[in-house]
Amino acid sequence: MPAGRTGPSLRRVLAGAVPIVIGLALLPRFVDLYQTELLIYGLTFAIAALGFNLLLGYTGLLSFGHSAYFGVGAYTVAFIVRDLHVQSMELCILGGLLGTLVISALFGYVCVRHTRIFFGILTLALSQVLWSLAFKFFWVTGGTDGIRVPRGNITLLAGLVDFKGAGAYQKFVYSYYYYVLVLFAIATAVMWVIVHSPFGKALQAIRDNETRASFVGIRVRRYRWIAFVISGSFAGLAGALWVPLNGLTTPEILYWPFSGEIVFMTVLGGFRTFTGPIVGAIAFNYLKVYAVASSQYWQMVLGVVLVVLVMVLPTGIVGTLARLAGKLRRD
Amino acid sequence: MDILVIQVLNSIFYAAVLFLISAGLSLIYGVMRIVNLAHGTLYALGAYVSAWAVGAVFGASASGSGNWVLMGQLLLLPVGAFAIAAVGALIEPTLLRPLYRRPEEYVLLITFGLLMILEDVMKLLFGGTPLSAGSIMDSMGSIRIGPLLYPSYNLVVIGVGVMAAVGLWWFTYRTRFGVILRATSQDRRMASALGVNVGRVYVQAFAIGCFMAGLGGAVVVPAQAAVLGMGVDALILAFVVIVIGGLGSLEGALVGALIVSFVRTAGIQFFAEVELAVLYLIAAAVLLIRPTGLFGRA
């Protein structure tokens, strides 16, 4: 176990994580279909935000172009289903991961040459290249109509579970929930190992002081590049899982405001903590869905939340709760 | 040949609008080191306010009712710019100032939140239907270029763009306030130590930047109606402009705007599918080869 001496012990981590996973697994028994579906969306976004936070929280790079990798994952799956007529979700995910791996390796190689605002603008510019291609090459991507990925064309677990005939929607939501939950748990565990490995410590060293990090022999640019690729791949996995759920992929998910939403999720949860992005993504999803349902001015609601958050609670939900808990313990 | 002339005029018209927006964005970045994601939305808001003001005073279809009406309409257009300057002067002290001591990510996020809020403020105030001041364009008629017609109003916009460029140049390099502005931009603490009221300079710089965005919206609205979402599109193009020209550089914004407009016009003509992609790639290439842009300083 490569967890560093500074991290909490494995037993303590499992003691925290196992009840949460069990709780999530039992949840569909107590809430209705719609709530379950919302939670699947939340979990997929959580994977993306988790990946994003490897760059922001651990490496100190603010990417404003993570929509690109989410979108590449989504579009790759859509292409595979539409053009190659592949049904197995596992193959689709592999394809989506491969696609994002290539794109994020390429874009990352370019972007890590800069830091701070230049890095942000570079990621933004490159993500917009993909957006404009998806937007304009309508005979390939369907333009603004996007590409439909019908549930009926997808099977889980190498064809064991399919979604045809009566009750397909219910069956889809329930089985897909567990499918995503398992992948989410794996992704979270992988990310936990990464940030607590020597590699993760090196990233944090780079974040805190780039010059000193290079003095102790860390190859700064190489490490940033690897972090970028991992981060992008997480977003790609999220995008791949999101497509069958949404049933449709459109250029919207490649457009830069969606990158902003990923940043929003992470800050909402708190980017200084490991669990922050997860909590933030799930909370953001609920917030957005309910804001959209209750008002046509939902953007304003989200905007006000973001402004208040940054002004008053910059450590996010998890950071604030941790501080409150610490205060209670001391009293 | 005539078509070429028209295309060149179109490019310059487009460059004028883009220059107004990007010069504001660049000025704000140059002085305050803030990347204002709400800048495009402020431009859109300026367009809405101007179109609304013209419509409210003269009615929606006052075209062809004489020179005096046209004059009045033209004089009303800058209302949008002044309104946005006022909004800017309100935003800086309340939302941005408390965050200067924190990492720059927070300021960026605030402006993203502001973008979301302002998009819906527009929807709330002006509704979902496009708002136009097209009567100005109609009543100004057109000029003849060979066998083709070209709207005279576009020439007015080009004139405004040139005037704004000259005015801004004079303002930054030939006035006392310009000196203070440049001093603050180069070394904020030193300027402060020399007795410059940095807080006031920041409000003024932000308000001027917003004014430019609002002016861009004000001059564009007789030519193309104000619609929801126009700001989000404009912001990215303005980004491309200041990245090419150099963040914080006035000359850069001018040259960048010209480059982007000509590439875009040529793109629409010859390679319509990749027209936008080419622009973003140019921006990325400039960032890689010369991160300070064509005119930026290190």
Residues B15-21: what's their mean pLDDT? Answer: 93
Distance from CA of A298 to the nearest CA of B (A): 8
Asked if A7 contacts A193 with a C-beta cutoff of 8 angstroms, the reply is no
Closest CB to B119 among A121, A129, A299 = A299
Q: Which two tokens stand for residue A146?
A: 């996007």
CB burial of residue B253 (10 Å; 0-12, 13-18, 19+): buried
How large is the ipTM?
Answer: 0.84
Residues B117-123: what's their mean pLDDT? Answer: 90
- The amino acid sitting at B298 is A
Q: Which residues contact A186 (CB under 8 A, 6 or more apart)?
A: none
Asked if B262 contacts B18 with a C-beta cutoff of 8 angstroms, the reply is no
Cα dihedral sign, B49-B53-B56-B62: negative
Reading chain A (331 residues) residue by residue, the pLDDT tens digits are 344 445 567 777 787 788 888 888 777 778 888 888 889 999 999 999 999 999 998 988 889 889 999 999 999 999 998 888 888 888 889 999 999 999 999 999 988 888 788 888 889 888 988 888 888 887 778 777 888 888 777 777 776 777 777 677 887 888 888 899 999 999 999 999 999 999 898 888 888 888 888 888 888 889 999 999 999 999 999 999 999 888 888 888 988 889 989 998 998 888 888 888 999 999 999 989 988 888 888 889 889 988 998 888 888 888 888 888 888 888 7
Tell me the C-alpha distance between A47 and A277, whole Å.
Answer: 8
Distance from CA of A309 to the nearest CA of B (A): 9
Tell me the C-alpha distance between B294 and B255, whole Å.
Answer: 9
Instruction: Return the pLDDT at A325.
Output: 86
Asked if A59 contacts A206 with a C-beta cutoff of 8 angstroms, the reply is yes
Residues B162-185: what's their mean pLDDT? Answer: 89
Q: Which helix (H) or strand (E) holds A289?
A: helix A276-294
Q: Which residues contact A284 (CB under 8 A, 6 or more apart)?
A: A45, A261, A264, A265, A268
A313 at interface of B, judged by CB pairs closer than 8 A: no
**Reduced to 3 states, what is the DSSP secondary structure of residue B1?**
coil
Q: Which residues contact A6 (CB under 8 A, 6 or more apart)?
A: none
Percent of chain B with pLDDT over 90: 28
Tell me the C-alpha distance between B180 and B173, whole Å.
Answer: 10
CB burial of residue B189 (10 Å; 0-12, 13-18, 19+): exposed
Chain A residues within an 8 Å CB radius of B283: 121, 125
**Reduced to 3 states, what is the DSSP secondary structure of residue A39?**
helix
Instruction: Return the pLDDT at A242.
Output: 93
> Which residue from B minimizes the CA distance to A137?
B273
| pLDDT tier for residue B61 given thresholds of 50, 70 and 90 | low
Q: Give CA separation, B141 vs A77, B134, B152, B154, in Å.
A: 52, 11, 6, 10
Instruction: Return the pLDDT at B132.
Output: 82
Q: Which residues contact A47 (CB under 8 A, 6 or more apart)?
A: A183, A184, A187, A234, A235, A237, A238, A241
Total Cβ atoms within 10 A of residue B67: 8
Tell me the C-alpha distance between B273 and B290, whole Å.
Answer: 27
Enter the DSSP assignment of A197: S
B298 at interface of A, judged by CB pairs closer than 8 A: no
What are the backbone dihedrals phi and psi of residue A116, each rounded to the nearest 5 degrees, phi first? Answer: 50, -135
Average pLDDT, chain B: 86
Q: Give CA separation, A9 vs A88, A205, A321, B54, in Å.
A: 38, 21, 21, 68
In which region does residue A156 sit, left (phi positive, over 0), alpha (psi from -120 to 50) or beta (all else)? beta
Tell me the C-alpha distance between A257 and A60, whole Å.
Answer: 21
Tell me the C-alpha distance between B282 and B273, whole Å.
Answer: 16
Cβ–Cβ below 8 Å for B113 and A310: yes
Tell me the pLDDT tens digit for each residue of B30-50. 888 888 999 999 999 999 999
Q: Give chain A's domains with CATH numbers.
A: 10-255 (1.10.3470)
Instruction: Return the pLDDT at B65.
Output: 60
Tell me the C-alpha distance between A189 and A197, whole Å.
Answer: 12
Strand partners, B151: B142
Instruction: Return the pLDDT at B195.
Output: 85
Distance from CA of B202 to the nearest CA of A (A): 19
Chain A residues within an 8 Å CB radius of B35: 117, 120-121
Distance from CA of A111 to the nearest CA of B (A): 8
Q: B residues 246-275 near A, CB within 8 Å? A: 247, 272-275
DSSP count for chain B of H helices, then E strands = 13, 2
Tell me the C-alpha distance between A244 and A132, whole Å.
Answer: 23
Residue A202's nearest CA partner among A58, A10, A62, A51 is A58
B290 at interface of A, judged by CB pairs closer than 8 A: no
Residue A88's nearest CA partner among A18, A179, A196 is A179
Q: How many CA atoms lie within 13 A of B249 on its CB side?
A: 22
Instruction: Return the pLDDT at A4.
Output: 45
Domain ranges of chain B: 19-228
DSSP one-letter string for B166-191: HHHHHHHHHSHHHHHHHHHHH-HHHH
Tell me the pLDDT tens digit for each residue of B76-98. 888 889 999 999 999 988 888 88
pTM above 0.95, yes or no: no
Total Cβ atoms within 10 A of residue A29: 7
Tell me the C-alpha distance between A27 and B147, whole Å.
Answer: 72
B112 at interface of A, judged by CB pairs closer than 8 A: yes
pLDDT at B169 over 70: yes
Residues B129-146: what's their mean pLDDT? Answer: 80
Tell me the C-alpha distance between B143 and B134, whole Å.
Answer: 17
CB burial of residue A128 (10 Å; 0-12, 13-18, 19+): buried
Asked if A104 contacts A85 with a C-beta cutoff of 8 angstroms, the reply is no
Tell me the C-alpha distance between A180 and B205, whole Å.
Answer: 49
